[in-house]
Chain A
Amino acid sequence: MSADATIAAQPTKRARARSSNEPDGRHGEGFGRYWVLALLVVAALLTLFPFFLAAINAIKTPTDYGANGPVALPRSFDLSALFAFWTGVEFGRKLWNSVLISGCVAFFGVALSLLNAYALGIGKVKGRNLILIVLMLGIMVPQESLVYPIYYLAKSVGLYDTRLSVIIVFTVLQSAFGTYMLSAVLTQFPREIIDAAEIDGASRLQVLWHVVIPVLRPTLTVLGTFFFIWTWNEFLLPLVLLISNDNQNVSVAMGTLHGQHVSDPTTTAAAALLGIVPTVIFFLVFQRTLMRGVTVGAVK
């Protein structure tokens, strides 16, 4: 296994390491480590700068924006446009639709990916590489090319303008990515653990449930989070498939802020911040799960 291989390879590396004159270990580095931290913090702040811009413009009045531009700090505080947007598009309803769609896609997408990857990565089904490549068509096909066919298919089975149609489409599309990622990880899965379980008489389903899932948990959470966030921000297919306002999600509702020729940047900024709150919460929750994943790994 690769872990053993790496450990086995250690002595030579250690020897090589000693000959280099880099500072070694955590004790001899003095203030150097603060420099690394400071550098990363600055980089992170630069990354977050656009969010800061969104925040300062979200609370401006349109007049303030008009008079001072997007770069100036706010001289006014006004959320009325935001509330008008919220009630105007029934934002609560859109949020719920987005949570429902993204949540279902995250869960079923991960489940579908896991089943596929279990057969391909652990089961090593014959022709697995071919199957994997064919399945990956799901991420290789540009979404624009699916719009018209999926519209006609959805219409023919009576699922046009339903959230279910969007859930099905994205569950399958996201699972192409998930299958690939999980089967790559599972080819490295310690075989002896599975063999041991099978010798103990565990069925394949039991192996999946009691052996594979616990080890993969950090990866599965990451996958679920990705699916949730990616689906949340999907725009083109929901725009075409979700017609009535009752079924629309946040990203489609945001479009109503743009007229044919004019847009309202302050409300856009405010609505954007509102729209990302659930995904940020979702991400933060997942961060905690991920930390738990680390400790499980450590105990094992």
Chain B
Amino acid sequence: MMVKKNGLLAAGAIAVAASLALAGCSAGSDSSGATSDADSSTLTVWVDADRAAVLKDAAAAFTKESGVKVKLVQKDFAKIQEEFIAQVPTGKGPDITIAAHDWLGNFVSNGVVQPVELGDTAADYQQVAVTAMSYEGKTYGVPYSIENIALLRNTALAPTAPATFDDMVAAGTAAGTEFPYLVQIGPEADPYHLYPFQTSFGAPVFGTNADGSYNPDDLTVGNAGGEAFATWLAAEGAAGRMSVNLTGDIAKEKFYAGASPFLLTGPWNVPDAQAAGIDVSVDAVPSAGGQPAQPFVGVQGFMVSAKTKNAIAANEFLVNYIGSEDVQTALYEVGGRPPALTAAFEAASSDPITAGFGAVGATAVPMPNIPQMGKVWQFWGVTEAAIISNQGDPVQLWQKMTADIAAAIQ
């Protein structure tokens, strides 16, 4: 009886203590007034698991030189965008976060990031990386890697790189495999992987301004090239070469099993292909419509919170440490994506796979980071899927999609 009462009392007290502590914490987080003094010489950085190990050294070097502690917080990359937008306004967010460049429009319209002044070091990065990290003329991040898709070729089945799409189909047919070429599509299609074909018909989603940024008022996707692309998609679907049943997993497995000489994919699938015993080579995406086939480039980098109390330390850390060749090379070695810093990229190009993806990336276009792009995806994929599975007149479906996007952007 006594024991019970004791236990009860303790449990009750713990519960109350916990609830009050919670109340205290949540109140403390409303604005960082009470805690900022203690934190002023600690930089909190959100990173994903792969990058965390590399940044440890850079952080230690920075702490040694400047006396500013760096706290690396590991996060699931896929959840960072959501959490950053939710936490920065409460004052609980980090000073710096790792980010993909196409989150930028969303970040800026939520007011959670602030511009980063690269100063004269801007010229040391690949142009496409800096353009991607810019929004409305201001640079918001320090880029560290560039990634894009290209054509993976099984050299045992196709010894030479195809110059055009027709060449690729001919080579694939001659190889006598199950599929002439493979590109992942899936039930809601995959506009990202189909984009190089679309640009080869001269139909980018948005037109660009003079400085290379996208112009949301200039929706170019529905032009004559877009209609030609839609017609072409329907023909590929009818010929059975493209199918909404070919999901990413299936396409990958078929390629590893030697069911096709070509797979349109990114560097993330190369290690598995090599592990499956395939001798791969990286080529440019062949043009289907006559114009250059430009895939999207995704740039990853680090951005600074709009509510950081450590703006100077954060800038110093990003520009002079993340932007150093050592760190960029180290980040490349764990991620396998070509570095954004030109010097580090040139060093990494001794690897033919990296050089291959890098060469395609040099001619590619940054994925639009304007928030309007978010409205495009939801119509784009399903329309392509409908066209590929011949659910209607391709040109009509395409124009319906263009009208829907235009209405959604308004």
A joins B in a complex: no
Residues of A within 8 A of B (CB): none
